[in-house]
Chains A and B, each alone.
Chain A
Amino acid sequence: GNSVTQMEGPVTLSEEAFLTINCTYTATGYPSLFWYVQYPGEGLQLLLKATKADDKGSNKGFEATYRKETTSFHLEKGSVQVSDSAVYFCALRSPNAGKSTFGDGTTLTVKP
């Protein structure tokens, strides 16, 4: 079955540091890949997505590239801000699948 493995947290960085949160997956076929962000006390928001190999999703300075050869979708940001502190979830959905598969989430804390 499908699975998503995320880098374990928590991750603590100083403001303006470079961020990488690793995500690898196992899936049949060619899934769509997603990153969601959850701010404290809120639901999840779609951050970015990619639907085919070599696609790069980007939003708010975050990027992730769909790497089929390594089955990865690592999230990166060149310079994090305190406001980026949140929980980040990697997810996938296979074509014709009824539901998405989520990773366990990675908590990011950015200190001033």
Chain B
Amino acid sequence: GAVVSQHPSRVICKSGTSVKIECRSLDFQATTMFWYRQFPKQSLMLMATSNEGSKATYEQGVEKDKFLINHASLTLSTLTVTSAHPEDSSFYICSARGGMGGNTSTDTQYFGPGTRLTVL
């Protein structure tokens, strides 16, 4: 139980294009999902918290127009990096708070495998 998937696992794109990353909770319903960014050999940086059916809450310093988050269902959240630039290259990780199903606990975050974004 408690499987969270991300797609794609790796993406390379040209500067100025937009990239969409999907995060799915496969065997449980997640009302809350989180998006993190991680630079090499550094800790996680929380970008935003998304709740199903409502607008995401962004952390200070994260551009909401740059990083569009949609949480349209209880099992899917998407992060779109708009007009990507080389400085957006990073490892993006989503996580879902446990909810109904999958033998999960609501006090625990379950993480996806991450998406490596490289912007040329």
Q: How far is the CA of A51 from the CA of B108 in the complex (A)?
A: 10
Q: Assuming A43-B112, A46-B110, is B49 touching A104 (CB within 8 A)?
A: no
Q: Determine if A32 is an interface residue (Cβ-Cβ < 8 Å).
A: yes
Give the interface segment out of B40-48, B60-68, B79-87. Answer: B40-48
- A42 adjacent to B107 (CB under 8 Å): no
Q: How far is the CA of A13 from the CA of B101 in the complex (A)?
A: 39
- B107 adjacent to A99 (CB under 8 Å): no
Tell me which of B44, B107, B109 contacts A51 (CB under 8 A).
B107
Q: CB-CB < 8 A to A25: which residues of B?
A: none
Q: CB-CB < 8 A to A100: which residues of B?
A: 109
Q: Assuming A36-B111, A51-B107, A98-B49, is B93 touching A44 (CB within 8 A)?
A: yes
Q: Report the contact-size class of chain B (Cβ under 8 Å from the partner).
A: 20 to 34
Q: Report the contact-size class of chain A (Cβ under 8 Å from the partner).
A: 20 to 34
- A89 adjacent to B43 (CB under 8 Å): yes
Per-residue A-contact encoding for B97-115, CB less than 8 Å = 1, 0 else: 0000000000111111110
Q: CB-CB < 8 A to B111: which residues of A?
A: 36, 43-46
Q: Determine if B29 is an interface residue (Cβ-Cβ < 8 Å).
A: no
